[in-house]
Structure 1
């Protein structure tokens, strides 16, 4: 006689409807360098996305991005968007036209990490005003190395920051004009015919130009300590907001600035400290964020790094060197009279 218990014979079936991921209209292209100091910029990502679809950058922008921008924004005009394309890399509020471009691309590509390709995650602790450079800039040595190694060409977010003039890897000046003597034009961050590693105007290679190679070598050897200081600090800055929230960073920054303010209260330490004291007081008494230049000036004056200021404790900061330095300046000033 057959047993009525069939549980050991037949498997149970899961009849629930599986979760189906929404298909993306455009390729789910992986950004380069997320979590590192050399993360890709959003305008670079747009150019690579167009290349992945075998279309001009202008075609992608005009047919896929602009139609999704709300009608009341002026950047729905392609020329206006191209002329202001540098701001795409430093976009702030989600409600802004540049913030909307992040959302549009994330929907089209079904990604959630494209804000990390901009400076928008800095908005809680750094003023985004005048943060980006107007024209496209690049390091010819980086392009040349990447092409030689057959790695993907791209433009790091670092190259888009206004106060950065040097490539942190080669300590050479970033270039903003095509090396072709018959072209010698600047490029916007986005354009109809723009392609990574090549001039928008003449399609000339932006790597090392043999006619200009000696001048580039000279640039490497002729840099100031200030330029290298900015390089090293921006390399430290880029990954911080990729790993923790801007609100937490601002909390750490405020705590450290309170400590630094107490450190220099009622001390006569010279003109630089006086300027810093004004910056610290303004930050603590107002709701506005400090500019990146101001943060770097504070770091330079106190002899700390931007990662210490934004991500660590600064209670071990010593001002003894600055007391000596400013005393020497005061003595030298007297001797000149």
Structure 2
């Protein structure tokens, strides 16, 4: 019997909305082998990926690749390569379910995945207390997902300890901890919303979760174009104008979908599915026996209703607690449009923006101070060995591109003069 290169550990939650992401699986592989995630990537993956830029990054210890590694969980080439290699290393055949690769013919990349990590601190804390495996859910990576499906509470995207955004995967990633400061990210306390808003914000999350839980292989050949044309024909008697009007989609956009010149974004797919009263799966499968589809009149008369008293309470709570959150993130959590908040609650939004800007600025200053300290230590170390602190020497220690910022360059030049080199 052939042995696998890496442990054949089982991915968590396949067949459920809470399925593990591939980046989380790779981080757990690293932990199982008692090596840094960066070491696993550079020593095991990079040589077989055949990407020169990855080899350079690995040798210099930079984070450039990890800052954009969200694609590992996505639907493109990078996801395919990491699925293939990880299955080869572990001997598994089910890791495609830990990415969105199966939906590459359905979703465009536009508006799909977040750029940085999101997590549910309550999930982390519960798993640790109950002795369960700590991991990151694939669903947390979606831009439209700002609420934990399990606990009905908002996801976090900034470490409360160091105030920084966290990469989805990093050289020092450990399950449940911040890769920047190493602190635990779990907590039992979280901002809660009224039940009405939990229901509203969870609509999209539930539909996405249902799709991720489906283990069919037919989605690789599903066609939004065919589904759109099917429902236009069966529900709106072939009238593109009526369909676009009732489903609240510009006619020009709708026409592009019907001709296959573009695919609806996930936001539009969810909107159309909800307006028709069906799930994403039913939409893609074009089930003729669906009983939940509303008539055109019912769809047209559908209106979003918001409790503005509760919205104001939510915004005021964010202001009082000085939560570092953007207006877009709050809108996702509540389940409304960002424009509605900006228009109806101008004063509240201005205060929230100010809090968020202050937090981002403070974070930026802390990062700059840390970089300057690291630079000083690196130059001092080189000087003690009579090595000239050239760009190449400094970045061999601190990572490729470390000296690209103006403030760092100025500090570097001053340090060279102060050490009389």
TM bracket, shorter-chain basis: 0.7 to 0.9
1:191 matches 2:170 = yes
Alignment correspondent of 2:187: 208
Match of residue 85, structure 1, among 66, 69, 73: 69
Partner Cα distance (2:143, 2:55) in 1: 22
Partner Cα distance (1:62, 1:220) in 2: 46
Contact 1:28/1:110 (8 A) holds in 2: yes
Match of residue 150, structure 1, among 113, 120, 131: 131
Match of residue 249, structure 1, among 222, 233, 241: 222
TM-score computed with the length of structure 1 as normaliser: 0.78
* SS of structure 2 residue aligned to 1:202: coil
RMSD, matched Cα: 2.6
Partner Cα distance (1:200, 1:307) in 2: 36
* 1:23-62 C-alpha deviation (Å, 9 max, x unpaired): 2111111111112211110000011000100111111111
Alignment correspondent of 1:294: 268
Partner Cα distance (2:228, 2:78) in 1: 33
Match of residue 139, structure 1, among 112, 116, 120: 120
* 1:268-309 C-alpha deviation (Å, 9 max, x unpaired): 588553516544432221254322112012113223221321
Partner Cα distance (2:142, 2:266) in 1: 10
Q: How does 1:23-62 map to 2 (within 5 A)?
A: 23-62=3-42
Contact 1:66/1:76 (8 A) holds in 2: no
Contact 2:178/2:185 (8 A) holds in 1: yes
Q: Sort the Cα spacing of 1:178 and 1:198 in 2 relative to 1 into closer, same or farther, 3 A.
A: same
1:239 matches 2:219 = no
Alignment correspondent of 1:273: 247
Contact 1:39/1:157 (8 A) holds in 2: yes
Alignment correspondent of 1:69: 49
Partner Cα distance (2:254, 2:146) in 1: 26
* SS of structure 1 residue aligned to 2:249: helix
Partner Cα distance (1:72, 1:229) in 2: 43
Partner Cα distance (2:244, 2:134) in 1: 47
Partner Cα distance (2:84, 2:240) in 1: 49
* 1:150-197 C-alpha deviation (Å, 9 max, x unpaired): 1100101001112111111112111011122xx111110111111111
1:170 matches 2:151 = yes
Partner Cα distance (2:163, 2:171) in 1: 18
1:223 matches 2:200 = no
Match of residue 232, structure 2, among 261, 284, 287: 261
Partner Cα distance (1:82, 1:270) in 2: 41
Partner Cα distance (2:93, 2:302) in 1: 49
* SS of structure 1 residue aligned to 2:228: helix
* SS of structure 1 residue aligned to 2:108: coil
Which has the larger Rg? 1
Q: Sort the Cα spacing of 1:102 and 1:268 in 2 relative to 1 into closer, same or farther, 3 A.
A: closer
Could you tell which deviates more after superposition, 112-121 or 77-86? 77-86
TM-score computed with the length of structure 2 as normaliser: 0.63
Alignment correspondent of 1:322: 299
- Cα deviation for residue 109 of structure 1 reads 1.2
Bigger share in helix: 2
* SS of structure 2 residue aligned to 1:178: coil
Q: Sort the Cα spacing of 1:281 and 1:76 in 2 relative to 1 into closer, same or farther, 3 A.
A: farther
